[in-house]
């Protein structure tokens, strides 16, 4: 995606203060003369490579990850292209800083560290005027929106308007991992208050300092936002992010057939976990339809994963009701069973007609191949649990998905040590390689960043009218196809982060082909879909 040029050429200090057009010391002698920059910059002309070297030297001098986060944010606020050059070329080091796990701390401290406003805020006082205030956003061609209400940020809970760090971070990954033009990205927080007692009494908190609105008032504000976006930005993809489980499902069910949208916690997480499971099939040479899955956690992420696994089994020829018999869920009250009352609809689907059990008893009874944690509670996969599942299967799969890293159900080292090097381990946040008895294991990071940027790239490039559930199936398969034998040999079910742009392109192509098959792409079908999508990708180089 080529950069949109300003209507009037920027010069002098206006140019140097434009984060989108500033090149700082990289402006050439001729550019300095033509653009009124003589005298405003030091004599030495430093190319992009030299600038990156300087940035990295300063980056490595920072003593904590949050200081690195603030440093990179400062870079973005003065030179957007250099920021993305650094992030893209050093993605394995930078992604844990600009997103999970560091973004969790950045959100907790968002108000304290506030320097320059970014993103778009909507609060109850804007009701009836959301369409009007959208005109204040500086860009007229928004294509990707990430929106949160801040109530369930990662595994940290209700952070209110401090949750803006999540949409900001997600959209940075849309740019870095897929090449969406940053001018076409819009982070949004629908700030409907907070029930976090700390923030309600914190004089530095910057959000709507009242308890959260609920019920019809909440839904009316969301609906006004959706309608305003559809009017102002009819081509925009809306990604729902970090809503509570009930609201996540409610909003997805209301809007999935009415506008171009998806929920990353439900569908994006499902896509990336299914990709890991498809790679696990290859690793142990056992088909998914013959596997049994036990989930610790039964919220939006867990049940979304379950739904997509069922879809994958159905695509292999199983009946949905038979596929669901292979999936079991544990929530705060124990095993989800048919005899329980007042189960929400997303849990009722997986309520089996068996006696109630706790986690340990269910594990011993079901003997699952795959254990998936989506609890937000650290340490729930204990040594006893890992040893038990290892006694049932030669190579069990352990997915400790809770974010940030401190909330993971177990660490990579624990999984490998307690399973005596037999387990396949995947996590939501990054873990370093582990050496156990002389063998190096590479934990797979089942991060949604492998999925949602590619979904967005395909949606933008081919102007999709809808995102359908089966697009996450083809996205998962496209990602799994990139896993190499050398990855599997190290126990890694995901490609290197260095391959993330390749993964995003493959996913964009796959979902675009599915969209054209279903008549859901509004852009005329090109002769070569891959080349068309490649031509749209943003290049941050000078």
Task: Name the catalytic one among 99, 174, 494, 538.
Answer: 99
| pLDDT of res. 403 | 87
Domain stop point among 404, 426, 449: 449
In a domain, 167, yes or no: yes
170 is catalytic: yes
Report the distance separating Cα 404 and Cα 163, nearest Å.
Answer: 14
Give dist(CA 42, CA 24) in Å, integer.
10
| For residues 254-274, average pLDDT | 97
Tokens encoding 28: 């050439």
DSSP 3-state helix, strand, coil percentages of the chain (rounded to 5)?
50, 10, 40
Q: Could you tell me where the beta strands, DSSP code E, fall in 174-236?
A: 185-190
Task: Express each pLDDT in 344-378 by its tens digit.
Answer: 999 999 999 999 999 999 999 999 999 999 998 99
486 is catalytic: no
Do the domain assignments include residue 53? Answer: no
* DSSP for 123-174, written as a single string: -GGGTT-HHHHHTTSS-S---EEEEE-SSSBTTTB--GGGGGHHHHHHHHHH
With a cut of 60, say whether residue 402 has pLDDT above it.
Answer: yes
Assess whether pLDDT exceeds 70 at residue 287: yes
Domain carrying residue 151: 102-259
CATH code for position 422: 3.40.50.720
Q: Name the token pair of 527.
A: 């002769």
Instruction: Assign 423 to helix, strand or coil.
Output: coil
Q: What is the pTM of this model?
A: 0.94
pLDDT digits (tens, 9 = 90+) for 478-533: 999 999 999 999 999 999 999 999 999 999 999 999 999 999 999 999 999 999 99
Q: Which of 170, 235, 256, 513 is catalytic?
A: 170
Q: 348 and 418 in one domain?
A: yes
Q: How confident is the model at residue 155 (pLDDT cuts 50, 70, 90)?
A: confident
* Residue 122 bridge partners (DSSP): 190
Q: Per the domain annotation, does 472 fall within a domain?
A: no
- Choose one of 416, 449, 482: the last residue of a domain: 449
pLDDT of residue 500: 96
**Residues 426-468 pLDDT 10s:** 999 899 999 999 999 999 999 999 999 999 999 999 999 999 9
Could you give the 3-state DSSP secondary structure of residue 447? Answer: coil
Residue 196 lies in a domain: yes
Residues 240 and 353 in one domain: no
Cα gap 276→443, rounded to integer Å: 11
What average pLDDT score do residues 337-342 get? 93
Q: At what angle do helices 165-178 and 91-98 cross, to 10 degrees?
A: 160
pLDDT tens-place string over residues 26-36: 999 999 999 99
Q: Which two tokens stand for residue 325?
A: 């018999």
Task: Please state the domain count of the chain.
Answer: 2
> Of 259, 280, 304, which residue is a domain's last?
259
Spatial CA neighbour of 88 closest among 175, 171, 3: 175
């Amino acid at each position: 995606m080529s950069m949109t040029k300003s209507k009037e050429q920027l010069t002098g200090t206006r140019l140097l203060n434009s984060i989108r057009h500033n090149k700082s010391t990289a402006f050439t002698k001729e550019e300095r003369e033509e653009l009124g920059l003589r005298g405003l910059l030091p004599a030495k002309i430093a190319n992009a490579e030299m600038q990156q070297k300087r940035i990295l030297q300063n980056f490595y001098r920072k003593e904590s990850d949050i200081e690195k986060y603030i440093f990179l944010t400062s870079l973005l606020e003065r030179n957007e292209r250099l920021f993305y050059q650094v992030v893209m070329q050093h993605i394995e080091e930078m992604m844990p800083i600009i997103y999970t796990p560091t973004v969790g701390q950045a959100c907790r401290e968002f108000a304290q560290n506030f320097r320059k406003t970014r993103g778009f805020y909507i609060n109850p006082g804007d009701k009836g005027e959301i369409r009007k205030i959208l005109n204040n956003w500086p860009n007229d061609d928004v294509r990707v929106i990430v929106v949160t209400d801040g109530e369930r940020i990662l595994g940290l809970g209700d952070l209110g308007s401090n949750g803006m760090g999540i949409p900001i971070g997600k959209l940075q990954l849309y740019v870095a991992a897929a090449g969406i033009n940053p001018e076409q990205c819009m982070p949004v927080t629908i700030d409907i208050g907070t029930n976090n007692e700390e923030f309600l009494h914190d004089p530095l908190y910057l959000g709507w300092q009242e308890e959260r609105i609920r019920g019809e008032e909440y839904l009316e504000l969301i609906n006004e936002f959706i309608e305003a976006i559809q009017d102002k930005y009819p081509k925009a993809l809306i990604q729902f992010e970090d809503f509570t489980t009930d609201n996540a499902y409610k909003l997805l069910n209301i809007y999935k057939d009415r506008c171009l949208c998806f929920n990353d916690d439900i569908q994006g997480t499902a896509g990336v976990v299914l990709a890991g499971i498809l790679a696990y099939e290859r690793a142990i040479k056992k088909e998914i339809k013959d596997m049994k899955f036990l989930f610790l956690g039964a919220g939006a992420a867990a049940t979304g994963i379950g739904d997509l696994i069922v879809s994958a089994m159905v695509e292999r020829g199983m009946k949905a009701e038979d596929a669901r018999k292979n999936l079991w869920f544990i929530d705060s009250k124990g095993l989800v069973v048919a005899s329980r009352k007042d189960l929400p609809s997303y849990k009722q689907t997986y309520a089996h007609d068996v006696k109630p059990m706790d986690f340990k008893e269910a594990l011993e009874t079901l003997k699952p191949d795959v254990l998936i944690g989506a609890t937000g509670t650290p340490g729930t996969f204990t040594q006893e649990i890992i040893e038990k599942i290892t006694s049932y299967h030669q190579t069990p799969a352990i997915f400790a998905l809770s974010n940030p890293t401190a909330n993971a159900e177990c660490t990579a080292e624990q999984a490998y040590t307690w399973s005596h090097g037999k387990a396949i381990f995947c996590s939501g946040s990054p873990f370093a390689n582990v050496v156990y008895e002389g063998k190096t294991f590479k934990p797979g990071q089942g991060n949604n960043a492998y999925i949602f940027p590619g979904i967005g790239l395909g949606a933008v490039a081919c102007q999709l009218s809808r995102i359908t559930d089966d697009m996450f199936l083809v996205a998962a398969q496209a990602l799994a196809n990139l896993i190499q034998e050398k990855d599997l040999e190290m126990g890694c079910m995901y490609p290197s982060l260095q391959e993330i742009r390749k993964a995003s392109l493959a996913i964009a192509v796959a979902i675009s082909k599915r969209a054209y098959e279903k008549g859901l792409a509004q852009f005329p079908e090109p002769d070569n879909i891959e080349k068309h999508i490649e031509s749209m990708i943003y290049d941050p180089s000078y």
